[in-house]
Structures are given as structure tokens and as C-alpha cells.
Amino acid sequence: MEQRTIDDGELRQWIDEWGEESHDDILASDDEADIANRILEHHTHGEYPDDVDWNDAWESLRSIIEPALEHVHGFFPDGAETLARYVREIDMGIDPDTGEDLERAAIEEPAFRTSFRIRAMADADPEDEPALDKVIQAADADYRHDVISGGDVARADWRNAAAYEWRRLMLEPHAPTDPVSDVSALAVIAVSMRYAPDATRAMIATDVLGPDLPTMGGLRDIIGTPERDVPVDTLITDLVGQWPDATPDRDTLTDRDHAAWRILSPIQQNAPAPVEGHIYGLLGMLDHVEYLGRTGETGRMHAERALRFDPSDRFASAVLDTAPTADGSTGLAELADIAQDRGTIR
């Protein structure tokens, strides 16, 4: 039987219908294939007649959705309508982030581009540090610009820089309450936390929770791990198992935890919501291991909060699968309310 090919115009109509009717969430783990599957399911209600080339339709949907999905970061509650709008805007040559004409923006791209550090200082007052949230925004823009131009090489450079800044700030002499004043370093770490959350958090967890400090090369190896390959499910067991008798030294972990928090706290307060959620997931793991042997209420509290930002947060899930409640239970049994409360924190 000769199969009919669905043209792009009809597929875009399906995307619009899905956006208007489905109220689907966009998860941090979703890629264009996941979204294409949902659109097909919404349109066909699970029935796929033999006279249509559904594989071609699926591939075409993926190619239409991919550029729009690049503008969605982290968990996006009820995000189908917005993603469908992004698809329309890109088709009309409009940048969803800025509303500017994409072709004109490309023509007007300056021959040079100052770094985010320079742009942050350009309108700052020396009596007052550049605002961290503004520096993070500028660094985020630089990262996206660099990745568009340099691809995987640029991604690796940014991740390696984040590993360097993390180690440098952790080794920086400080009193327990001293804030980190290097906003540029914090911004680099924040960007890595946004675009490589599992690899970045695994690097930090290993640096804080393991008995021996990793080498600089070791940190870069961890942060360079592809997101899907980060062994989050076994990370707690692996790190705890490295300590003598699988018993972490509480004093050592407390000191490292405090050093880490002086870095993570300003990032959490100033970075976009996805990063805030990622940090809650990481804090859940840090607190769970630090208070190992007790009930895991502190770790679970952070993990539950992380899941309100992103229900697919792997660090939060790993903590909940390991940290017991007061009655000794683990897992998601007590988190039914999150399904009703998700995405409402910010």
C-alpha cells in the first residue's frame, strides 16, 4: 500500500493543537523525540492507519521541534502551549528569547564580542560588586553564543573552567561565614549547573563527600561525563563505600559542606529557577551523607523541594530512594502532594 506523507503545514497544525489542548508539562529530560511522540499520540489517540508514513511524520516533527526546544530549560509546567508558540515564532524568523528578527540579528551581529566579565563591569560601581544575577545572565548568554559557534569544544571548555573555579574557591582560605566575592567564578559554575546539572553535581558531590580530594584532572573527567552516563543512582553508595568501614568522618564532611555552601548559596539565590532546583537536589545528597545513620529528614526535605522544580531530578530521586523517613520507609510514598504542587515555588 502506498503511504501518504504528512506535509509540514499539517504537522505544524498538529503541534498547535497539542499546544492548545494537551497542557503537557515539558520535563528537563525531554528531547525532540519525546515531544514528537506526545504530539503524535495526541493527534492519533494511539491509532496509526497503515496508509500514512508515520515514521516520516515523526522524523519531520523532530526536526521542527528541535530548534524550539533549545529555548526551553529545565522543568516547564504546562509548557506545551509555550513550546508550540516557540515553533511558530521560529518559523516566522523570530527569536523566542528576544522577539527580534533572527535574520536581522545575524546580519547585525558585531564583529567582536566582549566577555561576560567585561560586560558585567562596564556599568558596575567599584564600591559595589556587579550584581551576581546580572553576571550569571551575561555568562549564560556567552555560553549559548560559544556553543553555537564552537559546539562540543566550547561545552568542554566551559565545563573544565567550572571545575577549575570550583576547586579554586573550595581551596580559598576563608572564615566559615566569609562570602565568596568572585562573581565571575560563581557565574561560570552556575552556567555549568544549568546546562550540565548531573555532571556538575556529581563533580561537587565527589569533591565534598569522598574521603580523598580528587585531582584537578579527576574533577574535569567527572564534569565532562555526558549527562546520560553520570552514575547518579549509585553515587551515594560508591562515595560512602570509599570511607573506612563505609563510615564517613562527620567533622571532615561538615567542614567541606560549609565550604561548598558558601559557593552554592549565592548561586542558588541569584541563578534561574532550574539551577535553584538542581542545587536543592545536590543539597539533599550532601546532607544525607553528612548525617548518615540518622533519619534522612534533612536530605529528604531538600530532595522533595528539588522535585517541585523538576520531577525527573535524578539526584533528588537517588536521595529519596536511600534516605529513610522517621518510620524507616524510603522512596516516593509520601510525595503524592508534589504532583499537585509542582512548579509553584517560583
Quote the cell numbers at residue 56.
516520516
**pLDDT value, residue 336:** 41
Q: How many CA atoms lie within 13 A of 342 on its CB side?
A: 23
**Which of 87, 91, 92, 93 is CA-nearest to residue 71?**
87
> Which three three-digit cell numbers place residue 83?
513550546
pLDDT, tens digit only, all 346 positions of the chain = 688 899 988 999 999 999 999 989 888 788 899 999 999 999 998 888 888 999 999 999 999 999 888 888 777 777 898 899 989 888 888 877 666 665 554 445 554 566 777 777 676 676 666 788 989 988 988 888 888 777 888 899 999 999 999 999 999 887 767 778 889 999 999 999 999 999 999 999 999 999 999 999 999 999 999 988 999 999 999 999 999 988 889 899 989 999 999 999 999 999 988 899 999 999 999 999 988 766 557 788 999 999 988 888 999 999 998 876 655 555 554 444 444 444 433 3
Eight-state DSSP code of residue 291 = T
Q: What local confidence, expressed as pLDDT, does residue 207 receive?
A: 96
* DSSP characters over 87-98: HHHHHTTB-TTT
At 180 the pLDDT is 85
The pLDDT score that the predictor gives to residue 160 is: 94
Distance CA 65, CA 70 (A): 9
CB 312 within 8 A of CB 75: yes
**Residue 61: what pLDDT?**
93
Do residues 43 and 10 lie in contact, with contact meaning Cβ atoms separated by under 8 Å? Answer: no
Chain centroid, CA 343 distance in Å: 15
Are 202 and 239 in contact, with CB atoms under 8 Å apart? no
Q: What single-letter DSSP state applies at residue 56?
A: H
Give strand pairing partners of 52. 4
Cβ atoms of residues 93 and 101 within 8 Å: yes
